[in-house]
Structure formats: structure tokens, C-alpha cells
Chains A and B, each alone.
Chain A
Amino acid sequence: MNPVVEYFDDIYRGLKTATVGMRITFKHLFTKAVTIQYPTVKMKLPERARNRLYVNMDDCIGCDQCSMACPVDCISIETIKSTPEDNLGTTSTGQKKRLHVPVFDIDIAKCCYCGLCVYPCPTECIKMTDVYEFSEFDRHNLIYSFSTMTPAEVETARAKAKKMEEEAAAKKAAAAAAAKAAADAKAAAQTSAPAPQPEGSQPKPE
């Protein structure tokens, strides 16, 4: 293009596009604002919103699936075996609870809100709620402990479990000793009697 024409064309285009832009911003002066006055007004979250975790301990069977599914290892669970005469109750989905859960900590500061812990839970007791305002001043307050067992209950459960284990171990030792004794007796009986000649018929096991 001829440089002179280009010069005037530039100026004309500059003025024209500036006025077009000004018209758009002027129009927007009168459109309604798209913002709301948080925190006096809060937006309603959709029902699938994924925010803070919540665990309903009544339904937790201590299976550890959520802890294994977490990609950032923010859930720490400890379980204690229950004795057969303990009745821990059933979950709302009908499963019988067999494990005490003394420790169920979620470090919500580490949580990445992916929701991978929610899917494997067999009783659907761990859920993501719509709570998003849970800042704390102290970082340690962000480690949520969901377990409902008091320290006394934990002690008793642990003692009972230990006792049951010891009994089971003793029983097992006794059973092993008895089996060993029986095997020794059998071996002794076999060595005292003459060994039967193998005549083609197998000796029947006792």
C-alpha cells in the first residue's frame, strides 16, 4: 500500500477501533454485575460438590480400602480385632462390624479432594460434603480424628484383643504340642513293631 495512504489508514483505523471498544465498555456500564456479596450471600453448591470429607463412624468396618486408595496418604487407620463375644453392631448396609477402629485420622491439609476414597468404601461411610469454609489458624487443627472410641474403651479393647491373641496362641501351642506328642507316639509305635514288608498292599494311614 502507498505509504501515505497507509499512514492515514492507520490513523483512521486507530480512531475507529478505539470508539468501537469504548462503545462496548459503555454498554457494560449498565449491565448487571455478575458477582455476589460473599460472605453475606453464598452460592448454592451442586449436589455432587466435592469438599471437606466426613466419615460416619457408625458405618465404618475398618477395611482400610479408603486409606489404600488415597494417592497422597492422608488417611491413617488403626484397627483392633474384636472378640467373638463383643457385639459391635451392624452397619446401615447390613454388614456386621468385626473391627474396632481406635484411630481414623484424616489430614485434611494433605487431602487433594480427588474423591478416590469415596468409591471403594463398601458401606459408603466416607463422603465428601459441601463444606468449604474450614480454615484454621493452627495447622494441627486440620488433622481430623473421626474415631469415637474413648481412651478407656481403646485400652479395654486392646487388652481383650491381646488376651484373645494370647489364648489363641496358647491353644495353638497346645494343639501343636499335642499333635507333636501324637506324632511322636505314632513314630514310637511304628519303630517298636516290625516294619511290615511291602507286599504290594499299602499300609492304611491311621
Chain B
Amino acid sequence: MEQFLTSLIGEPLLVHVIMAAIPLLFILPYALVVIYLEMKIAAHMQDRVAYMRTGWHGTLQPIADMLKLLQKEDTVPAAADKFLFILAPYIVFIGTYAAFAALPFSPAFIGSNINIGIFYIVAISSLVVVGLLMAGWASNNKWSLFGALRSAAQIVSYEIPSAFAILGVVMLAGTMSLQELSSLQTGGITHWMILGGTLPLMKKLIVVPLMLILFLVYYISSMAEVNRTPFDIPEAESELVQGYNTEYSGMKFAIFYLAEYANLFAVSAVATVLFFGGWASPFASVMTGPFWSAFWFITKGMLFVCLNIWLRWTLPRLRVDQLMYMSWKVLTPFAFVCVLALGLVLVW
């Protein structure tokens, strides 16, 4: 993609700006689709139909929602810390959007082909915590403060099991670059990391259960990273009104909303790249190629997003200390033991 654009335009700075903006072209329509999907899936699970009036079966509703949010009065509480209050949603969005730079949408397109891709993603998505804390503190509202503090504790704690799970995959693949990880998984479904990658069959039998556990650990931690039920204690609607979001309205709230869904896709995409092949087609040589790969990547990402939505509307929410218990006493030990076992198997 980069060569194509350079040959077209020539000016390297402009080329890089366009490359940076292309994931945005993906995020905006994706946000509309995922908002619609969430509402419809939730509704059908609850024996009702949502949205039937705007467009056919409500397909234009997300656009209406966005327009509504944009035209709302943008209030800033009088006693709020104005600078931090206005800056917070943008920091959160930057943290999630920066992760898109290292996601390989297809062999021909990746925002930035760095060889420490996954490490960079883990690091930069921690910026979200800073944004949330800013939002909670600057709102000058005790309930928002509660939400922000809980959120900070949660996100920081769940980085650890998620990092262990990623470590396991990196050990198996031998590379941190996401583009290379995806290309290692080409050649059919048996080459996917969840099924042991390119190891011989004997080793695969031991590695596959370990990879399954690591995937489960990673997926649960990622749900906690994006503050989705059952880990949505920071924005627990029935307790804290809206948590750190309480005082936000209008455009700023729209940015928070967008950032949450973008983050959801980012972690689902990372899960697919790490465990389920990224842009590699499940069939050995059918449906490969730059555009088909983009299709596979997006489809797999959306499948995990839908799984996330399914879990959100099924499970109740964990309390803060149970959340911490789960991270430190359940996920981390399991991930640690699996990584040790994986290391032993690989070294053997």
C-alpha cells in the first residue's frame, strides 16, 4: 500500500498522513455497524425487536444516534477542571486509535510495519487509563471519581494476564511483528496458532490445550480492558449512573462512545491475529489475496465482537474486588503456568 501511494503522490509526508487516516475510514462505518448489531442482537435475545422505524428495520438508526449526539448541548460543569475535562475524551480516543497503526488488515496494508507490533499495541493502549482518570477527576463529581479509580485499577491489573497470553503466542511464533505473525499462519486452518502453528503433530497435541487456555485468558482480559460486562464496573449503570461518563454530553460523549467501540475492535482484531490467523484464510489456497485477506480479517474481528456482545447481554457484572481476584489469582497463575509449559515444550 505504501509503495502504491508513494508512486501515486510522491510526497512521503502526505503518504504517511493518508496511511494514518485509512483506519479511521474503517472505524467510522464500523462504529455504525456495531452499534446497530449490538442493539439488534440484544433485542432479539430479549424477545423484542429494537429500532424499526428509521430505515428498513432501523438500519439508519445509528446515523440518527450520531446526529443526535452531535447536536446536543456540550456542557462543561462549572466547577470542573476545564482543560482536563475537554482533553480527556481525545486522549482516550488517541490511545485506542494508535493501536490500529499496527493491525495488519491485509498483507498489502498495515499502518506501520514495525517489528515490535504487539508490544507497541500493549503499550500504547495503556494511554486509555490516563484519559479515563482525567475524565473522572476533572468532572468534579464523586461518582465519576469512583468510576475512574475503579477503571484504572481494572485496566492496569488485566494488562498482566493479557501480556502473559501474548507472551505465549510470541514464544510459539518467534516474532512480535503482527504482519509476520499473520503470514506465519497462512496455509489453512491447521496452521493457526490456536491449533499449534507449524509444529509437528506430537507437539501440537500438548500445545493445543495450552493455547486454548491462553486464548481464554487473553479474551477475558481483553473484555476487562475495554470495560465491557461482565467487567463494566467503571460504568456500572445501575450504581454509578454512568461512571466516569456521567458529566459528558454531546460531542465529547460521542468520542468516548466511539473510542469504546474502536477499542473493542482493536482487541478482537489482536485476538484474531494472535490465535486465529489474522488475515490468513482458513482454506489453504482458496480465497487468498489482498482483498480476500482484508475480508477474512474484518470478518473474524467482527465474530469476536459479536461474541463479546453475546456475553454482555448474558452475564451479570463482577464486583470490583472479585474482578481483582479474578485477574491476580485466576488468570495470571493460569497464564503463567501455560507459558512455562509452552516454553518447556518448545525447548524440548
> A residues within 8 Å of B by Cβ?
11, 18, 21-22, 24-26, 28-35, 37
Contact = CB atoms under 8 A, between A and B. Distances in A.
B213 to A, nearest CB: 11
B45 A28 contact: yes
Given A11-B330, A33-B44, A34-B47, A26 B315 contact: no
Contacts of B48: 33-35
A22 B49 contact: no
A172 B41 CA distance: 84
The 9 closest A-B pairs by CB, nearest first: A25-B45, A35-B48, A25-B314, A21-B314, A33-B49, A29-B44, A34-B47, A28-B45, A33-B48
18 contacts: A11-B330, A18-B315, A21-B315, A22-B310, A24-B314, A25-B310, A28-B44, A29-B41, A31-B47, A32-B47, A33-B44, A33-B48, A33-B49, A34-B47, A34-B48, A35-B47, A35-B49, A37-B52
Given A24-B314, A28-B46, 14 more contacts: A18-B314, A18-B315, A21-B314, A21-B315, A22-B314, A28-B44, A28-B47, A29-B41, A29-B44, A33-B43, A33-B44, A33-B47, A34-B47, A37-B52
A24 B43 CA distance: 14
A24 B310 CA distance: 11
B116 interface: no
Nearest to A26: B310
Interface residues of B, number: 15
B75 to A, nearest CB: 28
B337 interface: no
A21 B45 CA distance: 12
B313 interface: yes
Interface of B: 41, 43-49, 52, 310-311, 313-315, 330
A72 to B, nearest CB: 35
Nearest to B45: A25
Nearest to A11: B330
A25 B313 contact: yes
A26 B330 CA distance: 27
A36 to B, nearest CB: 10
Given A11-B330, A29-B41, A22 B47 contact: no
Contacts of B330: 11
A26 B41 CA distance: 10
A21 B311 CA distance: 9
Nearest to A32: B47
A34 B44 CA distance: 10
A22 B46 contact: no
B230 to A, nearest CB: 9
Contacts of A24: 314
A25 B309 CA distance: 11
A12 B43 CA distance: 30
A201 to B, nearest CB: 99
Contact of B311 (A22, A30, A31, A35): A22
A106 to B, nearest CB: 35
A23 to B, nearest CB: 9
A114 B330 CA distance: 58
Nearest to B334: A11
A34 B45 CA distance: 11
A34 to B, nearest CB: 5
A24 B45 CA distance: 9
Contacts of A37: 52
Contacts of B45: 25-26, 28-29
Contacts of B41: 29
B44 to A, nearest CB: 5
A115 to B, nearest CB: 32
A46 to B, nearest CB: 23
Contacts of B310: 22, 25-26
Contacts of B46: 28
A29 B49 CA distance: 10
Contacts of B47: 28, 31-35
A143 B45 CA distance: 44
Contacts of A28: 44-47
A152 to B, nearest CB: 50
A31 B49 CA distance: 11
Contacts of B49: 33, 35
Interface hub of A21, A26, A28, A29 (most chain B Cβ within 10 A):
A29
A4 to B, nearest CB: 12
A31 B46 CA distance: 9
A32 to B, nearest CB: 8
Contacts of B313: 25
Nearest to B316: A21
A21 B312 CA distance: 11
A26 B306 CA distance: 12
A32 B330 CA distance: 39
Contacts of B314: 18, 21-22, 24-25
A98 to B, nearest CB: 55
B307 to A, nearest CB: 9
Contacts of A33: 43-44, 47-49
